[in-house]
Structure 1
């Protein structure tokens, strides 16, 4: 079973790391405008892996088996994830529908 062929529009965290190293980008999409409670910003963000030519877009999922969109509910959680996949900067869209694109540094 070839999971990339069976579910070409999704990617796992490990798959995202691999594709970022091959020149893909990670788009952070704001799904719900965040609100601030004390010192914490909470909202809903998803991550999409986009091919260098922009033609292929894959949604980050919790696992390739159940294919549930991985949602980040806090900016802290999102930034921790982005750093964990090797990104050295994080741009966070703060309005529903806005997108911020990220690529690995050339020196990575």
Structure 2
């Protein structure tokens, strides 16, 4: 999910995700299912403190910026799939298009130098 630069970061990507999380929390409280906590993508690395109850295991996935070119290629292809499948808000498309155009321009300029 791509998030606006300004404003509050949404906690859920859709009403469906919010409902599923609520169902999982309720099931976990009743001891019927394990809870999996997934951190959201952010621009800065931050420490996530996880408190574990002795009967529940909590997994936390920390997303970091790609460091290798192949990782960036994978991330860009994933973003392409998300846009095509409608998993990016329409309100975010304009800002995303501007950023992609800047990237394409930088690639073109770099190609002219070499």
- Normalised by the length of structure 2, the TM-score is 0.22
Per residue, is there more helix in 1 or in 2?
Answer: 2
- Normalised by the length of structure 1, the TM-score is 0.23
Higher relative contact order, structure no. (Cα contacts within 8 Å, ≥ 6 residues apart): 1
